[in-house]
Structure 1
């Protein structure tokens, strides 16, 4: 079975993560869920259900150096939703959160990475975002942003069509073919 690390930041689509996990599992993935500390606080009421759904502990903090790893080795990772802060931290090598640290290290380990931002149009105007996306793409990360990927919305707006989770999982499928 192919192990997918699903990494998420605190943006509204992270609230839909249970259905995304179910979809990924139906596609043949063993899913491990990692969250930024803020996303973990948002999902705190669902945490035991998410752990039961994945069969793994949900991680939002670095493990102690003396602790054994509780997840199997990743075959592929999907970082979605990836906020403005997470994208810029990742591209800049600022690894103060577990999920950003894992994503940064995964580049050097050769673990395939797909990322889909979730930013509003105001953040999209900041030049750092385009630079960071270009930097990640130059490092081999498949970033689903712009035409054919996530397109920014107005601040405070949640589009009726929702976050394109299927596009993200389809992109993961294109990177690796899960085996049951």
Structure 2
């Protein structure tokens, strides 16, 4: 399989030699459907430098983007090519709206049960802490309703529940707050 050049945020291409070490290891997630396959590798798991790299193939051949932010319709879902100029960003093809495990709720790598802070009428609010006590400490707030995780809808930042009001924080860094945060952190629209 020939490797695609990496299309950067500015639309330029660069060689992918630096990624060859990453993709020589087993993928962390694989989605397959009708000859299409998406492989995702997570680097620096749980650290401040965590990043994700993905490769999309069709019948064993890598699908190369023709331009930055290219969108491609596949049986796996509507895929968008993303290349962060930072090592710890997202690089490669990602489902744009169709797969909640890769879009919206992206916290499947969190370990353990998390700390349950509230429970009421089928709703549960849990918080995970990563890299506790370090400069890279992060908090991940997750809401569950009747045992299923509640992911924000596209563009949603506020949710009203029996537990109270929650705001969704989509922090692109691996430290700080992520996910649902109890209370309103955004100005109310009047």
Query: Given the two structures, how large is their TM-score scaled by the length of structure 2?
Result: 0.22
Larger radius of gyration: 2
Higher strand proportion (structure 1 or 2) = 2
Query: Given the two structures, how large is their TM-score scaled by the length of structure 1?
Result: 0.23
- Which is bigger in relative contact order (C-alpha 8 A, separation at least 6)? 1
